[in-house]
A and B are shown apart, each in its own frame.
Chain A
Amino acid sequence: MLAWVRPHAFDFPLLLHVLGAMVLVGSTAAAVTAELASGRSPAPESLRRLAAKTFLLVAFPAYIVMRVGAEWIHSKEFPSGVSDPTWVGIGFVTADGGGIFLLVSIILAGFAAWKGKPRLGTAAGILAGIALVGWLVAVWAMGAKPA
């Protein structure tokens, strides 16, 4: 039931967009948990390294796939001249804003892991956590399609 009836030409870009977004949400949740749990962990350095690797090697590629899929299906569903509904605007704002938060989180998590700066790891976890909340609002908007 992920989407109502639509032309089959939309299916592959939608698959890219949705799968990329799902992996992005899961990997970001994993990295945020690792960063925020590292302070109370018996192996904080290994958790911070895991978080940094998850941000860089899973969340970032998933973000690219999600964003490319979004542009692709947007160009098919709303060709130039057709105004975007509210839910598409919510999607763009949270995707682009969250993308900036994700990039900063990757940099902070990298410094935290390889330069031994735990506070930067916590900051990366909080920033990515904010992006995650925004993405979940976007998921709600994609489904409920508020006017």
Chain B
Amino acid sequence: MSLDDWILALHLLSAFALVGAITIFWVVVLAIRSADRPSRVVALSPLFKLGSVVVVVGSLGVIVFGLWLAISLRAYHPWDGWVIAAIVLWAVASETGRRSDPEYRPAFVRAQELVAAGTDEPDAELAALCRPSAGLLLHSAATVATLLILLDMIWKPGA
């Protein structure tokens, strides 16, 4: 196995981490919308934390190892149209994903406060924080951009 084979494997594992994290966030986004009690929101914290770590590893891995391959392999170049398209889509996915995080974080903070205060009754403020329309929109945009990267990587238009 050559170094490029290893880099491709790491690039692929990073891509799995990125899409895997987006899937984890979708599980959280859908579950938190129907969470009617603070304890149920707090219960989702481990999933949210897992997604937050995995998405950073995946995002950085795909761009670093992807650019490495584009430079290292003779068949491809960083200035190829489909590579540039992937970089632009990666930037869009990263920024929209990053902006969706603070839309959901206040729900966890409020739920923690309520649980710490010994309250586990449905709370109107918490219910509103669990359904941020901007957060849903941003996460959807990050998902679409990431799916477009996957299509671009497989079809390689112009390659």
Residues of A at under 8 Å CB distance from B?
A: 1-5, 8, 11, 14-15, 18-19, 21-23, 25-27, 29-30, 33-34, 37-38, 41-44, 46-47, 50, 54, 58, 136, 139-147
In the assembled complex, the CB of B35 is this many whole angstroms from the nearest CB of chain A, namely 8
In the assembled complex, the CB of A136 is this many whole angstroms from the nearest CB of chain B, namely 7
Tell me whether B13 and A1 are in contact (CB under 8 A): no
Size of interface on B: residues with Cβ below 8 Å to A: 49
Contact stretch, chosen from B42-50, B97-105, B134-142 = B42-50
Contacts of B10 in A (CB 8 A): 143
Tell me whether B5 and A145 are in contact (CB under 8 A): yes
Q: Of B6, B9, B31, B50, which contacts A33 at CB under 8 A? A: B50
* Number of A-B contacts defined by CB within 8 Å: 132
Is B12 close to A, CB under 8 A? yes
Is B153 close to A, CB under 8 A? yes
Known A43-B37, A58-B27; further 17 A-B contacts with Cβ < 8 A: A1-B8, A1-B66, A1-B76, A4-B75, A11-B154, A11-B155, A19-B19, A19-B150, A21-B16, A22-B23, A26-B19, A26-B23, A30-B27, A38-B43, A142-B12, A143-B8, A144-B6
Tell me whether A26 and B24 are in contact (CB under 8 A): yes
Q: A19-B150, A42-B42 are in contact. Are A25 and B16 (CB under 8 A)?
A: yes
Contacts of A27 in B (CB 8 A): 23-24, 27
Contacts of A146 in B (CB 8 A): 1
Which residue of the partner chain B has the closest CB to A4? B75
A117 to B104, CA, bound (A): 31
Contacts of B51 in A (CB 8 A): 30
Q: Of B5, B40, B153, which contacts A2 at CB under 8 A? A: B153
Tell me whether B115 and A42 are in contact (CB under 8 A): yes
Contacts of A139 in B (CB 8 A): 9, 12-13, 16
- The 11 listed contacts between A and B (C-beta, < 8 Å) are A1-B73, A2-B11, A15-B154, A21-B16, A30-B50, A33-B50, A43-B39, A46-B43, A143-B10, A144-B5, A147-B1
Contacts of B89 in A (CB 8 A): none
Contacts of A43 in B (CB 8 A): 37, 39-40, 42-43
Contacts of B39 in A (CB 8 A): 41-43, 46
Q: A15-B151, A43-B37 are in contact. Are A58 and B15 (CB under 8 A)?
A: no
Tell me whether A22 and B47 are in contact (CB under 8 A): no
Tell me whether A144 and B1 are in contact (CB under 8 A): yes
Tell me whether A41 and B23 are in contact (CB under 8 A): no
